[in-house]
Amino acid sequence: MLQAPPAEPGMREDEVDTPALLIDLDAFEHNLDTMAALLAPTGAKLRAHAKTHKSAVIAKLQMARGAIGQCVQKVAEAEQLAWGGIPDVLVTNQVVSPRKLARLAALAKICKVGLCVDDPAQIALAEQAAEAAGVRLPVLVEIDVGMGRAGIEHGPPAVALAERIAASKHLSFGGLQAYHGSAQHMRTPEQRAAAIAEAAARSRRTVEQLKQRGLDCPIVGGAGTGTFRHEAASGVYTEIQAGSYAFMDVDYAKNEDAPPFRHALFVLAQVMSRATPGVAVVDCGHKGVAVDSGMPGVWQRPGLRYAGASDEHGKILIEDGEAPVLGEKLRLVPGHCDPTVDRYDWYVGVRKGRVECLWPIAARGAMA
């Protein structure tokens, strides 16, 4: 079931029903503008990652500020963006299910859609789907740039895959996918710089070898909010795939020399019990705010510590300052934005204490 919206435009923020996912629109717009300004002098383009926001509305706002397209991880996410009018979507992932590939190929009739491979078998499956749909799909080769997750070895193995793509009648070689996810959360700037220098070196080497084989590499894509300044400055990466920058979360804010984005995403929660001394229990546990990267913060209440998340209860310890009263609403800052967004059906956009808009999170739960 789609859940009912927790608010209506014009309401005061403290009237919003809880738990609710709030966007602070001033901070959010600041973040979009800041990213556009940071990338402008580098020549790298933004292909924002919709795995964070799951919304064609937000994708359009990013593209109005110069983003050239969107990334997704799932075919079901690509569908929501394509159906919502986004013209260029890249699945930054392998797709091995013929049913999913048929769905993806069907989208190619209404927008540009690409995908990634790291194995010849995936190329054969994509070729079959594209042929059956009568479309031509751009396919990127994902190379491992240091994560040891997906991605083929850079250099000759990657070039061999690219040649196989280029030789496929219904596919075109789209470039390299060179994402280093674990580098995003390295704490010091030196660690992050070193990791991305290595990723850029592997990418550069592969681009040169492709050129030697007569293959042009239209895209080198990767980067996230924790490292994108390095990729953008590398001269190799052409597309930056940051997502979280639009919202920011507690974990990214912990990085030394964190990028200049503001917290724009909050979960509004309500104190539902004050029966235990020193404790305020709120109506949002880990079903409502993701805790895989740590507990949420309590916004502008430094004396309150969200210390424990049950499924539906959050236990806030009152360590200092004013104690919240029963019924009071508190803003939580998610430890990790992406999975938090994925729990909700609606964004509640707020500005200066009032609800300004409601936006559906159309790709919520779009896992397949």
Residues 35-94 that bind a copy of itself (CB under 8 A): 51, 73-74, 76, 80, 93-94
> Which residue bears the tokens 């007569």?
214
Closer residue to a copy of itself, CB minimum distance, 39 or 265:
265
Closer by beta carbon to a copy of itself, 43 or else 120: 120
CB of 32 to a copy of itself, least distance (A): 21
Residue 174 or 324: the one with the smaller Cβ distance to a copy of itself is 324
User: What is the sign of the dihedral through the CA atoms of 232, 341, 117 and 184?
Assistant: positive
How far is the C-alpha of 122 from the C-alpha of 150, rounded, in Å?
13
The interface with a copy of itself within residues 303-322 (CB under 8 A) comprises 309-313, 315
Q: Would you say 16 or 61 has its CB closer to a copy of itself?
A: 16
Under the binding rule (CB under 8 A), the answer on residue 241 touching a copy of itself is no
Contact 303, 320 (CB under 8 A): yes
250 contacts a copy of itself (rule: CB under 8 A):
no
Task: Candidates 99, 109, 213, 254: give the one binding a copy of itself (CB under 8 A).
Answer: 99
Total residues contacting a copy of itself by CB under 8 A comes to 73
Q: CA nearest 233: which of 41, 35, 47, 33?
A: 41
- Shortest distance in whole angstroms from residue 317 CB to a copy of itself: 10
Tell the residue number behind the tokens 């704490």, with chain if given: 187
Q: Which tokens belong to 265?
A: 């995403």
Question: How many residues does this entry show for the chain?
Answer: 368
Q: Give 228's Cβ-side CA count (13 Å radius).
A: 32
Locate tokens 């394509």: which residue? Answer: 82
Q: How near is the Cβ of 275 to a copy of itself at its closest, in Å?
A: 4
Does 228 bind a copy of itself (CB under 8 A)? Our answer is: no
Applying the rule CB under 8 A, the residues between 1 and 30 that interact with a copy of itself are 1-4, 6, 17-20
* Region near a copy of itself per CB under 8 A, out of 23-31, 163-171, 197-205, 336-344: 336-344
Asked if residue 94 lies in contact with residue 67, where contact means CB atoms within 8 angstroms, the answer is: no
- Tokens 């996912």 locate to 21
Q: Which of residues 105-164 bind a copy of itself (CB under 8 A)?
A: 118-119, 121-122, 142, 144, 148-153
Nearer to a copy of itself, 7 or 38 (CB): 7
For a copy of itself, the closer CB: 218 or 339? 339
Alpha helices in 189-255 (DSSP H): 189-212, 228-233, 250-253
- CA of residue 309 relative to chain centroid, distance: 24
